[in-house]
Amino acid sequence: MQTVRDIATWQRARKRADFANCTVGFVPTMGALHEGHTTLIERARRENDRVVVSIFVNPTQFNDPKDLEEYPRTWAEDLVRAEEAGADWVFAPPAEEMYPDQARFRVSESGLSNILEGAQRPGHFEGVLTVVMKLLQLVRPDRAYFGEKDLQQLLLIRDTAEAFFLPVEIIGCPTVRAPDGLALSSRNALLTPPARAKAATFAQVLQTVTEPAAARQQLTDAGFEVDYIENHEQWRLGAVRLEGIRLIDNVRRDEVALRANGGTTSASSAARTEPD
């Protein structure tokens, strides 16, 4: 595996012969890699000749400076995980190179980005779409892989790539969960052991309580600060805070009904599925 930490070197590498006549799979990350990320990389490895992983903690998608400062950074461990999962390249550019214009130019969307997560985090999706479009232009992959845990993000990226006629397939991969059902997230590492044990309640309530208002009340009673629990089209989406750490998750509404009636669920909500 080769590591590149500046854009000029990457652009030269991308023109090299080892990329010629090859399909390229791309997994963009903000680092602090966990099993969800590695399953994305493993899938990219199965489906492409070359696999590129980016590690970039994107400052423009954080509306809280403290959140950006505290976001976990585990560079050495990330390189080991990426290589073991099958990455050929890790691209980790500095912020000053990704935003030489001080983020004067941005990608915005006027619909889906303004509700749910977008309503709670003004400017968040503008930052996400801007950096992902930059990375797609730099990497020029055939396929890019994103986890369904960040469902709203996935839908917006897919629509933006289509709107700008980018020649890339945006592939959504089911959420990876811990044995207790909590969706894997880099932020989970910031929870204390007691909070981590309690966090599983978020997934359980989201997936089993039929009415959003009742789910919000149960989570509030359990000690969570609830940003939202809402139904949107065929999905139930939620965001909560525990010890100040923000957790998000989603589940299909038909699976909520099935669980509420005591039925079993599909593989996408099992304790261990495809990528986060």
Catalytic residue among 34, 37, 124, 232: 37
DSSP 176: P
Residues 197-214 have pLDDT tens digits of 999 999 999 999 999 999
State which H helix or E strand residue 43 sits in: helix 35-47
In DSSP terms, which residues pair with 50 in a beta bridge? 24
pLDDT, mean of residues 173-187: 96
**Domain 2-173 class?**
alpha beta
Confidence of residue 276 (pLDDT cuts 50, 70, 90): very low
pLDDT, mean of residues 37-43: 98
Domain ranges of the chain: 2-173, 186-269
Residues 99-115 have pLDDT tens digits of 999 999 999 999 999 99
pLDDT, mean of residues 13-26: 94
Q: Kindly tell me the sign of the dihedral angle through the C-alpha atoms of 85, 88, 93, 98.
A: negative
Half-sphere exposure of 170 (CA within 13 A, CB side): 22
pLDDT, mean of residues 264-268: 47
Distance, CA of 197 to CA of 182 (rounded, Å): 10
Of the ranges 72-76, 137-141, 184-188, 272-276, which one carries the lowest mean pLDDT score? 272-276
CATH architecture of 186-269: 2-Layer Sandwich (3.30)
pLDDT, mean of residues 161-173: 98
- pTM exceeds 0.85 for this model: yes
- Token pair recorded at residue 249: 């998750």
pLDDT score at 123: 95
Residues 139-155 have pLDDT tens digits of 999 999 999 999 999 99
DSSP 6: S
Catalytic annotation present for 37 = yes
Distance, CA of 129 to CA of 107 (rounded, Å): 6
